[in-house]
Protein backbone atom coordinates (compact mmCIF):
# COMPACT_ATOMS: atom_id res chain seq x y z
CA UNK A 1 0.00 0.00 0.00
CA UNK A 2 2.38 2.67 -1.13
CA UNK A 3 1.68 6.30 -1.81
CA UNK A 4 0.84 7.00 -5.39
CA UNK A 5 3.00 9.74 -6.88
CA UNK A 6 1.32 12.97 -7.74
CA UNK A 7 1.82 12.37 -11.46
CA UNK A 8 0.23 8.95 -11.21
CA UNK A 9 -2.83 10.46 -9.53
CA UNK A 10 -3.07 13.03 -12.31
CA UNK A 11 -2.67 10.33 -14.96
CA UNK A 12 -5.46 8.27 -13.43
CA UNK A 13 -7.78 11.27 -13.32
CA UNK A 14 -6.87 12.55 -16.77
CA UNK A 15 -7.54 9.14 -18.31
CA UNK A 16 -11.10 9.35 -17.03
CA UNK A 17 -11.67 13.11 -17.41
CA UNK A 18 -9.79 14.60 -20.37
CA UNK A 19 -10.96 18.12 -19.55
CA UNK A 20 -9.00 18.15 -16.29
CA UNK A 21 -5.59 19.84 -16.51
CA UNK A 22 -2.56 19.22 -14.38
CA UNK A 23 -0.88 22.50 -13.46
CA UNK A 24 1.90 23.70 -11.25
CA UNK A 25 1.75 26.56 -8.82
CA UNK A 26 4.61 29.05 -8.51
CA UNK A 27 6.18 26.95 -5.78
CA UNK A 28 6.19 23.86 -8.00
CA UNK A 29 3.33 22.17 -6.15
CA UNK A 30 1.09 20.32 -8.60
CA UNK A 31 -2.66 20.73 -8.65
CA UNK A 32 -5.52 19.61 -10.83
CA UNK A 33 -7.58 22.31 -12.49
CA UNK A 34 -11.06 20.84 -12.75
CA UNK A 35 -13.78 22.30 -14.97
CA UNK A 36 -16.82 23.36 -12.97
CA UNK A 37 -19.11 20.81 -14.58
CA UNK A 38 -16.83 17.85 -13.84
CA UNK A 39 -16.20 18.61 -10.18
CA UNK A 40 -18.69 16.24 -8.54
CA UNK A 41 -17.82 13.41 -10.91
CA UNK A 42 -14.08 13.91 -10.31
CA UNK A 43 -14.66 14.06 -6.57
CA UNK A 44 -16.66 10.84 -6.67
CA UNK A 45 -13.97 9.19 -8.79
CA UNK A 46 -11.18 10.27 -6.41
CA UNK A 47 -13.05 9.06 -3.38
CA UNK A 48 -14.22 5.70 -4.68
CA UNK A 49 -11.38 4.54 -6.97
CA UNK A 50 -9.55 1.75 -5.11
CA UNK A 51 -6.05 2.93 -6.00
CA UNK A 52 -6.80 6.53 -5.02
CA UNK A 53 -9.39 6.37 -2.20
CA UNK A 54 -9.32 10.01 -1.11
CA UNK A 55 -11.44 9.51 1.96
CA UNK A 56 -10.73 12.84 3.68
CA UNK A 57 -11.42 16.39 2.65
CA UNK A 58 -8.70 18.17 4.61
CA UNK A 59 -9.66 21.66 3.61
CA UNK A 60 -11.89 23.54 1.28
CA UNK A 61 -11.04 27.18 0.81
CA UNK A 62 -10.94 29.85 -1.86
CA UNK A 63 -9.01 32.85 -3.05
CA UNK A 64 -9.76 35.84 -5.19
CA UNK A 65 -7.81 36.18 -8.43
CA UNK A 66 -8.63 39.87 -8.76
CA UNK A 67 -5.41 41.92 -8.53
CA UNK A 68 -3.53 38.61 -8.46
CA UNK A 69 -0.45 38.46 -10.74
CA UNK A 70 -1.80 35.64 -12.84
CA UNK A 71 -1.47 35.27 -16.59
CA UNK A 72 -3.80 35.98 -18.20
CA UNK A 73 -5.31 38.44 -15.69
CA UNK A 74 -8.57 37.14 -14.31
CA UNK A 75 -11.17 38.14 -11.78
CA UNK A 76 -12.39 34.64 -11.03
CA UNK A 77 -12.77 33.14 -7.59
CA UNK A 78 -10.72 29.96 -7.23
CA UNK A 79 -12.15 27.28 -4.94
CA UNK A 80 -9.49 24.90 -3.63
CA UNK A 81 -9.98 21.35 -2.37
CA UNK A 82 -7.22 19.63 -0.41
CA UNK A 83 -7.76 15.90 -0.33
CA UNK A 84 -5.99 13.21 1.65
CA UNK A 85 -6.15 9.44 1.63
CA UNK A 86 -5.80 7.82 5.02
CA UNK A 87 -5.44 4.48 3.32
CA UNK A 88 -2.72 5.37 0.82
CA UNK A 89 -1.21 8.37 2.61
CA UNK A 90 -1.23 10.58 -0.46
CA UNK A 91 -2.63 13.99 -1.16
CA UNK A 92 -4.02 15.92 -4.08
CA UNK A 93 -5.14 19.49 -4.64
CA UNK A 94 -8.11 20.40 -6.82
CA UNK A 95 -8.92 23.87 -8.01
CA UNK A 96 -12.10 25.08 -9.61
CA UNK A 97 -12.48 28.53 -11.15
CA UNK A 98 -15.81 30.23 -10.62
CA UNK A 99 -16.57 33.39 -12.60
CA UNK A 100 -17.14 36.39 -10.38
CA UNK A 101 -20.62 37.26 -11.61
CA UNK A 102 -22.07 33.75 -11.80
CA UNK A 103 -20.26 32.47 -8.73
CA UNK A 104 -21.55 28.91 -8.38
CA UNK A 105 -19.79 25.60 -7.78
CA UNK A 106 -21.65 22.36 -7.16
CA UNK A 107 -21.44 21.08 -3.59
CA UNK A 108 -19.20 18.13 -2.75
CA UNK A 109 -20.95 17.57 0.58
CA UNK A 110 -22.47 14.43 -0.94
CA UNK A 111 -18.97 12.97 -1.17
CA UNK A 112 -17.47 14.40 2.01
CA UNK A 113 -19.91 15.67 4.67
CA UNK A 114 -17.02 17.74 6.07
CA UNK A 115 -17.61 20.08 3.14
CA UNK A 116 -20.84 21.35 4.72
CA UNK A 117 -19.14 23.80 7.08
CA UNK A 118 -16.29 24.64 4.69
CA UNK A 119 -18.73 25.60 1.98
CA UNK A 120 -20.67 27.79 4.35
CA UNK A 121 -17.44 29.58 5.20
CA UNK A 122 -16.46 30.05 1.56
CA UNK A 123 -19.96 31.27 0.80
CA UNK A 124 -19.84 33.72 3.69
CA UNK A 125 -16.42 35.20 2.96
CA UNK A 126 -16.18 34.88 -0.82
CA UNK A 127 -19.76 34.74 -1.98
CA UNK A 128 -19.44 31.45 -3.81
CA UNK A 129 -22.78 29.68 -3.91
CA UNK A 130 -22.87 25.89 -3.72
CA UNK A 131 -26.04 24.55 -5.37
CA UNK A 132 -27.12 21.35 -3.63
CA UNK A 133 -25.90 22.46 -0.20
CA UNK A 134 -28.74 21.75 2.25
CA UNK A 135 -28.28 24.87 4.38
CA UNK A 136 -26.06 27.51 2.85
CA UNK A 137 -26.09 30.25 5.50
CA UNK A 138 -23.47 32.66 6.76
CA UNK A 139 -21.25 31.14 9.40
CA UNK A 140 -18.76 33.83 10.50
CA UNK A 141 -20.31 37.22 9.91
CA UNK A 142 -23.75 38.12 11.29
CA UNK A 143 -26.75 36.81 9.39
CA UNK A 144 -27.69 40.27 8.16
CA UNK A 145 -24.20 41.17 6.92
CA UNK A 146 -23.89 42.73 3.50
CA UNK A 147 -21.21 41.64 1.06
CA UNK A 148 -18.43 39.07 1.27
CA UNK A 149 -15.41 40.44 3.17
CA UNK A 150 -12.55 38.42 1.65
CA UNK A 151 -13.32 39.50 -1.89
CA UNK A 152 -10.63 41.92 -3.03
CA UNK A 153 -13.19 44.50 -4.14
CA UNK A 154 -15.05 44.40 -0.84
CA UNK A 155 -15.82 47.87 0.45
CA UNK A 156 -15.64 48.19 4.23
CA UNK A 157 -18.89 49.33 5.82
CA UNK A 158 -19.06 52.50 7.92
CA UNK A 159 -21.22 51.15 10.67
CA UNK A 160 -23.13 48.14 11.88
CA UNK A 161 -26.65 48.67 13.25
CA UNK A 162 -25.84 52.31 13.79
CA UNK A 163 -22.58 51.68 15.65
CA UNK A 164 -19.76 53.37 13.78
CA UNK A 165 -16.74 51.24 12.94
CA UNK A 166 -14.17 53.89 13.74
CA UNK A 167 -14.08 55.67 17.06
CA UNK A 168 -15.14 59.30 17.11
CA UNK A 169 -12.92 61.51 15.05
CA UNK A 170 -10.49 58.72 14.23
CA UNK A 171 -8.80 58.80 10.89
CA UNK A 172 -5.93 56.63 9.78
CA UNK A 173 -3.54 57.38 6.99
CA UNK A 174 -3.81 54.59 4.45
CA UNK A 175 -6.74 52.83 6.06
CA UNK A 176 -9.09 51.10 3.64
CA UNK A 177 -11.89 53.07 2.02
CA UNK A 178 -15.20 52.70 3.75
CA UNK A 179 -18.77 53.24 2.67
CA UNK A 180 -19.96 49.72 1.87
CA UNK A 181 -23.47 48.43 2.43
CA UNK A 182 -24.51 48.35 6.04
CA UNK A 183 -27.18 46.17 7.55
CA UNK B 1 -10.07 33.03 80.97
CA UNK B 2 -13.25 31.60 79.53
CA UNK B 3 -13.94 31.47 75.84
CA UNK B 4 -16.26 34.47 76.05
CA UNK B 5 -13.59 36.67 77.55
CA UNK B 6 -11.00 36.21 74.83
CA UNK B 7 -10.21 39.33 72.80
CA UNK B 8 -12.61 39.65 69.93
CA UNK B 9 -15.26 37.49 71.52
CA UNK B 10 -16.74 40.05 73.84
CA UNK B 11 -20.20 41.23 72.96
CA UNK B 12 -19.16 44.84 72.43
CA UNK B 13 -16.48 43.69 69.97
CA UNK B 14 -18.82 41.56 67.95
CA UNK B 15 -21.51 44.10 67.39
CA UNK B 16 -20.81 46.71 64.74
CA UNK B 17 -23.04 49.63 64.09
CA UNK B 18 -23.37 50.84 60.49
CA UNK B 19 -25.92 52.25 58.13
CA UNK B 20 -27.54 49.45 56.12
CA UNK B 21 -26.45 50.99 52.87
CA UNK B 22 -22.84 51.27 53.98
CA UNK B 23 -22.94 47.74 55.26
CA UNK B 24 -24.31 46.45 51.96
CA UNK B 25 -21.67 48.37 50.05
CA UNK B 26 -19.02 46.83 52.27
CA UNK B 27 -20.39 43.41 51.49
CA UNK B 28 -20.52 44.10 47.78
CA UNK B 29 -16.99 45.40 47.77
CA UNK B 30 -15.71 42.19 49.31
CA UNK B 31 -17.71 39.79 47.17
CA UNK B 32 -17.33 40.94 43.59
CA UNK B 33 -18.41 37.80 41.79
CA UNK B 34 -17.30 38.06 38.20
CA UNK B 35 -18.79 36.52 35.12
CA UNK B 36 -16.82 33.64 33.64
CA UNK B 37 -16.52 35.23 30.26
CA UNK B 38 -13.58 35.84 27.96
CA UNK B 39 -13.29 36.20 24.22
CA UNK B 40 -9.58 36.37 23.40
CA UNK B 41 -6.05 36.30 24.77
CA UNK B 42 -6.93 38.68 27.63
CA UNK B 43 -8.92 35.72 28.90
CA UNK B 44 -5.66 33.85 29.45
CA UNK B 45 -4.45 36.66 31.70
CA UNK B 46 -7.83 36.64 33.42
CA UNK B 47 -7.35 32.93 34.12
CA UNK B 48 -3.88 33.66 35.45
CA UNK B 49 -5.36 36.26 37.77
CA UNK B 50 -7.67 33.54 39.06
CA UNK B 51 -4.83 31.04 39.31
CA UNK B 52 -2.71 30.29 42.36
CA UNK B 53 -0.05 32.97 41.91
CA UNK B 54 -2.36 36.01 41.80
CA UNK B 55 -5.44 34.33 43.22
CA UNK B 56 -8.20 36.94 43.02
CA UNK B 57 -10.35 34.60 45.12
CA UNK B 58 -8.67 36.18 48.14
CA UNK B 59 -10.35 39.46 47.14
CA UNK B 60 -13.71 37.73 47.26
CA UNK B 61 -13.77 37.44 43.48
CA UNK B 62 -15.26 34.11 42.56
CA UNK B 63 -16.10 33.30 38.94
CA UNK B 64 -19.76 32.66 38.27
CA UNK B 65 -20.84 30.79 35.18
CA UNK B 66 -24.14 32.63 34.84
CA UNK B 67 -24.66 36.37 34.54
CA UNK B 68 -27.60 36.19 36.93
CA UNK B 69 -25.23 35.51 39.82
CA UNK B 70 -22.48 37.88 38.71
CA UNK B 71 -21.82 41.44 39.90
CA UNK B 72 -18.93 42.19 37.62
CA UNK B 73 -18.36 41.61 33.95
CA UNK B 74 -14.75 41.67 32.84
CA UNK B 75 -14.82 42.12 29.08
CA UNK B 76 -11.58 40.32 28.33
CA UNK B 77 -10.76 40.35 24.67
CA UNK B 78 -11.75 41.27 21.17
CA UNK B 79 -15.45 41.89 20.65
CA UNK B 80 -16.76 41.61 17.13
CA UNK B 81 -19.93 43.28 15.95
CA UNK B 82 -21.55 39.85 15.98
CA UNK B 83 -20.50 39.25 19.59
CA UNK B 84 -21.40 42.73 20.85
CA UNK B 85 -25.12 42.03 20.92
CA UNK B 86 -24.47 38.89 22.95
CA UNK B 87 -22.34 40.86 25.41
CA UNK B 88 -25.18 43.31 25.79
CA UNK B 89 -27.59 40.42 26.45
CA UNK B 90 -25.28 39.02 29.13
CA UNK B 91 -24.99 42.45 30.71
CA UNK B 92 -28.75 42.86 30.72
CA UNK B 93 -29.13 39.53 32.50
CA UNK B 94 -26.92 40.70 35.36
CA UNK B 95 -28.67 42.15 38.39
CA UNK B 96 -28.07 45.69 39.64
CA UNK B 97 -25.72 46.89 40.85
CA UNK B 98 -23.57 45.61 38.02
CA UNK B 99 -20.10 46.67 37.08
CA UNK B 100 -18.12 46.43 33.88
CA UNK B 101 -14.36 46.32 33.54
CA UNK B 102 -13.00 46.69 30.04
CA UNK B 103 -9.77 44.70 29.96
CA UNK B 104 -7.17 45.23 27.27
CA UNK B 105 -6.85 47.35 24.15
CA UNK B 106 -9.41 45.43 22.11
CA UNK B 107 -12.24 45.92 24.58
CA UNK B 108 -11.15 49.52 25.19
CA UNK B 109 -10.93 50.74 21.62
CA UNK B 110 -10.57 47.90 19.14
CA UNK B 111 -6.83 47.85 19.73
CA UNK B 112 -4.81 46.41 16.86
CA UNK B 113 -8.01 45.87 14.87
CA UNK B 114 -9.27 49.42 15.06
CA UNK B 115 -7.81 50.41 11.71
CA UNK B 116 -8.07 47.52 9.29
CA UNK B 117 -10.94 45.42 10.47
CA UNK B 118 -14.46 45.37 9.16
CA UNK B 119 -15.76 43.07 11.87
CA UNK B 120 -14.27 44.20 15.19
CA UNK B 121 -16.14 46.56 17.46
CA UNK B 122 -14.06 49.57 18.43
CA UNK B 123 -14.66 49.54 22.14
CA UNK B 124 -17.27 47.72 24.18
CA UNK B 125 -18.33 51.05 25.73
CA UNK B 126 -20.50 51.50 22.65
CA UNK B 127 -22.74 48.70 23.94
CA UNK B 128 -22.42 48.63 27.74
CA UNK B 129 -21.38 51.33 30.23
CA UNK B 130 -17.79 50.76 31.33
CA UNK B 131 -16.54 51.66 34.81
CA UNK B 132 -12.86 50.81 34.58
CA UNK B 133 -10.59 50.69 31.55
CA UNK B 134 -7.39 48.68 31.77
CA UNK B 135 -4.87 49.32 28.99
CA UNK B 136 -2.48 46.65 27.80
CA UNK B 137 -2.27 44.02 25.12
CA UNK B 138 -2.93 41.99 27.12
CA UNK B 139 -2.68 43.59 30.58
CA UNK B 140 -0.78 41.57 33.12
CA UNK B 141 -2.74 40.15 36.08
CA UNK B 142 -1.21 42.91 38.22
CA UNK B 143 -2.90 45.48 36.02
CA UNK B 144 -6.20 43.63 36.24
CA UNK B 145 -5.95 43.52 40.03
CA UNK B 146 -5.05 47.23 39.96
CA UNK B 147 -8.26 47.84 38.03
CA UNK B 148 -10.26 45.70 40.43
CA UNK B 149 -8.89 47.65 43.40
CA UNK B 150 -9.97 50.87 41.69
CA UNK B 151 -13.39 49.35 41.12
CA UNK B 152 -13.63 48.32 44.77
CA UNK B 153 -13.16 51.95 45.75
CA UNK B 154 -16.11 52.77 43.55
CA UNK B 155 -18.22 49.91 44.88
CA UNK B 156 -17.49 51.09 48.41
CA UNK B 157 -18.97 54.47 47.55
CA UNK B 158 -22.03 52.96 45.87
CA UNK B 159 -25.32 53.76 47.53
CA UNK B 160 -28.68 52.25 46.69
CA UNK B 161 -30.28 55.66 46.43
CA UNK B 162 -28.71 58.53 44.58
CA UNK B 163 -26.55 59.21 41.59
CA UNK B 164 -24.09 56.53 40.61
CA UNK B 165 -20.52 57.44 39.74
CA UNK B 166 -20.28 56.94 36.01
CA UNK B 167 -16.93 58.59 35.40
CA UNK B 168 -14.79 56.28 33.29
CA UNK B 169 -11.58 55.46 35.10
CA UNK B 170 -8.43 54.48 33.26
CA UNK B 171 -5.91 52.39 35.15
CA UNK B 172 -2.35 53.66 34.73
CA UNK B 173 -3.24 56.32 32.21
CA UNK B 174 -0.79 58.10 29.95
CA UNK B 175 0.71 60.02 32.85
CA UNK B 176 1.82 56.80 34.55
CA UNK B 177 5.27 55.47 33.75
CA UNK B 178 5.12 52.62 31.27
CA UNK B 179 4.68 49.34 33.07
CA UNK B 180 4.29 51.14 36.37
CA UNK B 181 1.61 48.75 37.47
CA UNK B 182 3.51 45.69 36.31
CA UNK B 183 6.09 45.20 39.03
CA UNK B 184 7.25 41.61 38.88
CA UNK B 185 9.26 40.21 41.75
CA UNK B 186 12.85 39.60 40.77
CA UNK B 187 13.08 35.85 41.17
CA UNK B 188 16.63 35.79 39.80
CA UNK B 189 18.00 37.96 42.58
CA UNK B 190 20.37 36.25 44.98
CA UNK B 191 19.07 35.56 48.41
CA UNK B 192 20.69 37.53 51.24
CA UNK B 193 22.31 34.43 52.65
CA UNK B 194 24.03 33.82 49.36
CA UNK B 195 22.05 30.63 49.00
CA UNK B 196 20.88 29.00 45.86
CA UNK B 197 23.87 26.71 45.64
CA UNK B 198 23.27 23.02 45.67
CA UNK B 199 26.86 21.95 46.13
CA UNK B 200 28.04 20.66 49.49
pLDDT for res A171: 64
> A164 contacts in B (CB within 8 Å)?
122
Which of A154, A157, A175 minimises the CB distance to B115? A175
Q: What does each of the 183 residues of chain A score in pLDDT, given as a tens digit?
A: 345 667 788 888 889 899 998 888 777 778 899 999 999 999 999 999 998 899 999 999 999 998 887 777 888 999 999 999 999 888 899 999 999 988 999 999 999 999 999 999 999 999 999 999 999 999 999 988 888 999 988 888 888 888 887 776 566 676 777 777 776
Contact B31, B60 (CB under 8 A): yes
Question: In total, how many domains does chain A have?
Answer: 2
Q: Which domain covers residue A174, as residue numbers?
A: 153-183
Strands A21-24 and A30-33: antiparallel
Q: Is residue A13 assigned to a domain?
A: yes
- Shared-domain flag, residues A38 and A111: yes
How many contacts does A have with B, using Cβ atoms within 8 A?
34
- Reported for A161-169, long-range contacts at CB under 8 A and 24+ positions apart, including other chains, are A161/B81, A163/B81, A163/B84, A163/B121, A163/B126, A163/B127, A164/B122, A165/B118, A165/B122, A166/B114, A166/B122, A167/B109, A167/B110, A167/B114, A167/B122, A167/B123
Task: Tell whether B88 lies on the interface with A, counting CB pairs under 8 A.
Answer: no
DSSP string of B37-51, one letter each residue: ---STHHHHHHHHHS
pLDDT tens for residues B5-54? 666 666 666 676 678 888 888 999 999 999 999 999 999 999 999 999 99
> Phi first, then psi: what are they for A32, rounded to 5°?
-105, 120
Q: Are residues A109 and A177 in the same domain?
A: no
CB contact under 8 Å between B81 and A166, yes or no, is: no
Q: In what order do the strands lie in the sheet with A56-64?
A: A21-24, A30-33, A91-98, A77-84, A56-64
Which residues on adjacent β-strands are paired with residue B63? B34
- Rounded Cα–Cα distance for residues B158 and B155 (Å): 5
Taking CA atoms, B172 is separated from B177, B180, B185, in Å, by 8, 7, 19
d(CA B168, CA B170): 7
In a domain, A16, yes or no: yes
User: Looking at beta carbons, which residues of chain A come within 8 Å of B123?
Assistant: 167
Same domain, A89 and A160: no
Rounded to an integer, what distance in angstroms lies between the CA atom of residue B49 and that of residue B62?
Answer: 11
Distance separating the N- and C-terminal Cα atoms of chain A:
54
Residues A178 and A114 in one domain: no
B86 in contact with A, Cβ within 8 Å: no
Of A141, A161, A176, the CB nearest to B119: A141
Per CB-CB distance under 8 Å, the chain A contacts of B78 are none
ipTM for the assembly: 0.78
pLDDT bucket at B171, cuts 50 / 70 / 90: confident
CATH number for the domain spanning A112: value is 3.30.460.80
Would A173 be classed as within a structural domain? yes
Q: Do residues A57 and A129 both lie within one domain?
A: yes
**Which structural domains are found in chain B, ordered by start?**
33-170 (3.40.50.12280)
Q: Are residues A166 and A135 in the same domain?
A: no
Q: Of the ranges B20-24, B50-54, B113-117, B152-156, which one carries the lowest mean pLDDT score?
A: B113-117
What confidence score (pLDDT) does residue B184 get?
A: 43
Spatial CA neighbour of B134 closest among B152, B156, B107, B154: B107
Does residue A145 lie within any of the structural domains?
A: no
| Distance between CA atoms of residues A153 and A127, nearest Å | 12
Q: How far is B119 from chain A (nearest CA, A)?
A: 8
Partner-chain contact B118 A149, CB within 8 Å: yes
Q: Is B3 helix (H, G, I), strand (E, B) or coil?
A: helix
Answer whether B58 touches A (CB < 8 Å): no
**Do A60 and A116 belong together in one domain?**
yes
Domain assignment present for residue A17? The answer is yes
**Same domain for A168 and A85?**
no
pLDDT confidence of residue B172: 63
Give yes or no: residues A20 and A93 share one domain. Answer: yes
Residue B99 has a pLDDT of 92
A100 and A71 in a common domain: yes
pLDDT at B196 over 50: no
Query: Is A147 domain-assigned?
Result: no
pLDDT at A2: 46
* Contact check, Cβ <8 Å, A161/B123: no
If one compares A53 and B181, the residue with the highest pLDDT of the two is A53
* pLDDT score recorded for residue B197: 45
Q: Answer yes or no: do A127 and A161 share one domain.
A: no
Q: Provide the mean pLDDT of chain B.
A: 81
Residue A1: inside a domain: no
Tell me, yes or no, whether A41 and A115 share the same domain: yes
From the number of C-beta atoms within 10 Å of its C-beta (0-12, 13-18, 19+), residue B141 rates as buried
pLDDT number for residue A168: 66
Amino acid sequence: MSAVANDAIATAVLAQFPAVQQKHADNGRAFLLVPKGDLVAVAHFLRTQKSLRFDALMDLTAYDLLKYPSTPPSDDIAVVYLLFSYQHRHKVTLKVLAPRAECEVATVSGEWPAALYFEREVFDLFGVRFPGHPSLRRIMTPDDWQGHPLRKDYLYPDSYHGVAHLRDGQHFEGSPPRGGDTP
Amino acid sequence: MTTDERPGNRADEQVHMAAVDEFLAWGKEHSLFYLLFATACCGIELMQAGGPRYDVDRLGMIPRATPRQADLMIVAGTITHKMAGRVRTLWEQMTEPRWVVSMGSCANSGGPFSKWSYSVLNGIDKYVPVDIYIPGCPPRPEALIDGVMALRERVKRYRTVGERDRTPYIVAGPEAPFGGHCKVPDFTAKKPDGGGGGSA
